[in-house]
């Protein structure tokens, strides 16, 4: 662990009634890093995000974010500390408009009194406009989010994530169900976000991961199997065995 690290996961073990979803997982993230996490089904990718965001409490181990322990903190407190999450299937508020969705994400402070008393600040409105332009939803401002296409929903959720201004963005399968063109745009967007933000992307899509051009961590059976660039891990024998599959199989 060193001071440049934004996040350290130390020996995280999560046991669901005896089943080890995560088994002594160690992972460190530097500030500004873009990291891809891949792994076969059941490798513990989503549980890994659940532990960081406070949805699941680790049975053992420690999560250190910006020097503070996250274990035992409530989800909304962790979110306020600067951890943002995009879910696997787009989770947006379908009965609200695109703009209202973004308002929810950019508003600070997130207290009831602030929401009921005061109008939204100008800089927050500007931020919403900027976000809508980035994700090409400017014409859909007042449309119900539920009426958007699947790809637009994914993008709206990414915009909501960015609007939260988190230090750490956890992005779960952002390109599931997107067209090739949309996938490319998403990869560019995530690359442009890293540097200023630290981004963790979980996905299955190898082409997409390659496009991200980042360090990759391979999870298997709840633990980190291998870490490195796409080239390194593609040559790693263990990875080939469990995930990529041997050519002769």
Partner 1 sequence: MSLSKIKFDKKIILSFWIILIALIIAAPTLLPVFRLNLLGRYLSLSIVALGVDLIWGYTGLLSLGQGIFFALGGYCAAMYLQITSSSEFPNNIPEFFALYGVEKLPFFWEPFKSPVFTFLAIWIIPALVAGLIGFLVFRNRIKGVYFSILTQASLLVFFNFFNGQQKLINGTNGLKTDVTQLFGQMVGSEFMQRIFFWITALLVIAAWFFAKWVVKGRFGNILIGIRDDEPRVRFTGYNPVIFKTIIFSIAGGLAGISGALYTVQSGIVSPQFMTVPFSIEMVIWVAVGGRGTLLGAILGAVFINYAKSLVSEALPASWMFIQGGLFILVVTALPEGVLGWIQGDGPRNLLQKFGLKRKIETYPSLEVKNKEGNNE
Residue 126, burial from CB neighbour count under 10 angstroms (0-12, 13-18, 19+): exposed
Q: Is 234 in the site for partner 1 (CB under 8 A)?
A: no
The residue among 51 and 209 lying less far from partner 1, judged by its C-beta, is 51
Q: Does 107 bind partner 1 (CB under 8 A)?
A: yes
- Rounded-to-integer distance, Cα 171 and Cα 49, Å: 9
Among 93, 191, 228, 244, contact with partner 1 (rule: CB under 8 A): 93
Of 112-120, 176-184, 201-209, 241-249, the window that binds partner 1 (rule: CB under 8 A) is: 112-120
How many CB atoms sit inside 10 A of residue 164's CB?
A: 20
Alpha helix (H) residue ranges in the chain:
45-53, 75-81, 98-106, 112-117, 122-134, 150-163, 180-193, 206-212, 230-235, 237-239
Verify binding: residue 238, partner 1, rule CB under 8 A.
no
CB 159 within 8 A of CB 153: no
Is residue 68 near partner 1 by the rule CB under 8 A?
Answer: no
Question: Minimum Å distance from CB 55 to partner 1?
Answer: 7
246 binds partner 1 (CB under 8 A): no
Query: Least separation, in Å, of the C-beta of 89 and partner 1?
Result: 11
Nearer to partner 1, 92 or 239 (CB): 92
CA–CA distance, 104 with 139 (Å, rounded to integer): 19
Burial class (CB in 10 A: 0-12, 13-18, 19+), 118: exposed
> Min. distance of Cβ 75 from partner 1 in angstroms?
4
- Among 30, 57, 76, 235, contact with partner 1 (rule: CB under 8 A): 76
Copy the structure tokens of residue 182: 């949309």
Stretch that binds partner 1, among 5-13, 108-116, 198-206, 240-248 (CB under 8 A): 108-116
Q: Judge residue 220's burial from the number of C-beta atoms within 10 Å of its C-beta, 0-12 exposed, 13-18 middle, 19 or more buried.
A: buried
CB of 83 to partner 1, least distance (A): 9
**Residues facing 9 on adjacent strands:** 27, 63
**Contact residues: partner 1, CB under 8 A:** 53, 55, 74-76, 79-80, 84-85, 87, 91-96, 100, 103-105, 107, 110-112, 115-116, 120, 143, 147, 160, 164
């Amino acid at each position: 662990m060193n001071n440049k690290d934004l996040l350290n996961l130390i020996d995280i073990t999560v046991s669901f009634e005896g089943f080890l979803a995560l088994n002594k997982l160690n992972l460190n993230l530097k500030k500004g890093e873009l990291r891809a996490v891949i792994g076969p089904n059941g490798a513990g990718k989503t549980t890994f995000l659940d532990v960081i965001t406070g949805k699941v409490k680790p049975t053992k181990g420690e999560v250190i974010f910006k020097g503070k322990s996250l274990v035992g903190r409530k989800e909304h407190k962790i979110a306020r500390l600067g951890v943002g999450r995009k879910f696997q299937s787009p989770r947006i508020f379908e009965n609200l408009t695109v703009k209202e969705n973004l308002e929810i994400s950019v508003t600070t402070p997130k207290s009831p009194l602030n929401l009921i008393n005061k109008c939204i600040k100008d800089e927050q409105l500007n931020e919403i406009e900027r976000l809508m332009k980035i994700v090409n939803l400017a014409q859909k401002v007042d449309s119900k989010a539920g009426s958007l296409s699947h790809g637009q929903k994914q993008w709206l959720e990414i915009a909501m994530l960015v609007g939260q201004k988190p230090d750490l963005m956890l992005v779960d399968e952002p390109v599931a169900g997107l067209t090739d063109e949309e996938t490319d745009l998403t990869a560019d967007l995530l690359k442009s976000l890293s540097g200023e933000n630290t981004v963790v992307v979980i996905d299955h899509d190898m082409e997409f991961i390659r496009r991200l051009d980042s360090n990759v961590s391979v999870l298997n059976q709840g633990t980190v199997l291998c870490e490195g660039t796409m080239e390194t891990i593609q040559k790693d024998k263990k990875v080939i065995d469990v995930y990529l599959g041997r050519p002769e199989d």
